[in-house]
Chain A
Amino acid sequence: MDEEILVKKLKARDQKVFQDFVNEYKDKLFRLAMGFVHDSFLAEDIVQDVFVKLWQNIDSWELGNAKLSTWLYKVTVNHALNVVRSKKKTSNVVDISQFVRESDDGGIEIQIPDNEKNPHNKLENKELAGILRKAINTLPKKQRIAFVLRQYQNMSSKEIAEVMDLSVSNVDVIIHRAKKNLQKQILKLMK
């Protein structure tokens, strides 16, 4: 759908169009968030927040802004970085918040994901997720974002340049540095 028509329909609160839009982008944004948080519950919360806020603020969207999709990527990155930062502060505490959800009636319920039922699988993947999180999070911010956009979105340097407001050649240099640093960090953590 043409972006102008899309925005018009979203402004007119067309739920069907919004649902299609969510379905088109939810996995992309989910993977992008995963690249920062490496936790599917957190990633999903991030994606929810982004779409809810888009819906609530669509009235103030003006054509001539950046593409809606570019905006979505930027906001997802910003939100994911905030989540990572706030998690860092509490990382010494055992975190069960990812399993706790507010139920429909306003109460609290605890959900354990399916893959937790397979302890073998869980441990291995959790360990790898932890290594990735630590390794990627040690990268300087620009390197981290550029690497995640490449690795988790398979974006070209041109697309990354657009999201990050950088030149293409700059992006290539940043990704090269990111990979170098990442290798160092991963091998350090996997000794």
Chain B
Amino acid sequence: MKCAQVKNKLIFYYYGDLDESQMRQIREHLEQCPTCRREYNKLALALDYANTEAQMSASGDLWNKINQRIAQTSSKKVKILWLRSVETIAVAAAIALAVFIGSLIGRVYIEQSYQVANDHEIYDDYENLIETFSNFNQTAYLVFDDN
């Protein structure tokens, strides 16, 4: 096999994609051609590293981090609701009013106002993800703009 032919097939040789006879011809060529061998070694170095990456593991505490975030998002939602949203002011006013009236006629209004607050759940982050995740039923299609 000539150098040009071998060079065209280096990556397929690396992955063992070729038939037996081609694999053998390239192996023999690489043994005696330093130019092609140099090219092959460079390619193999990068692809070996890809194999290393493909065997790496996520860190051991990944579950803890996920668990923490799950717990956080629920508490964060409530916190943001009370601190930031415009409705909060109205709710706060309603509660103040309820407390005031409540001091006169009872505590029912406080409970009702709190219910209003809980109805306004706010997702505060991962905005760019919402689109991807918002609807399971539309599934996640991979969009290609090329070949």
Contact = CB atoms under 8 A, between A and B. Distances in A.
A75 B56 contact: no
Contacts of B145: 141
Interface residues of A, number: 66
B135 A60 contact: yes
Q: Is the interface of A mostly helix, strand, loop or mixed?
A: helix
Contacts, number: 146
Interface string B117-136: 00000000010110011111
Contacts of A69: none
Given A22-B63, A27-B58, A179 B53 contact: no
A94 interface: no
Contact of B46 (A66, A86, A152, A190): A190
A23 to B, nearest CB: 7
A39 to B, nearest CB: 10
A48 B62 contact: yes
A123 interface: no
Interface in A146-165: 151-154, 163-165
Given A49-B126, A132-B46, A183-B43, A145 B58 contact: no
Interface of A: 15, 19, 22-23, 26-27, 29-31, 34-35, 38, 40, 43-44, 47-49, 51-57, 60-62, 65-66, 71, 74-75, 77-79, 82, 86, 104, 125, 128-129, 131-132, 135, 140-143, 145, 151-154, 163-165, 174, 177, 179-180, 182-183, 186-187, 190
Nearest to A68: B136
Interface stretch (B20-28, B66-74, B87-95, B104-112): B66-74
B53 A132 contact: yes
A52 B66 contact: yes
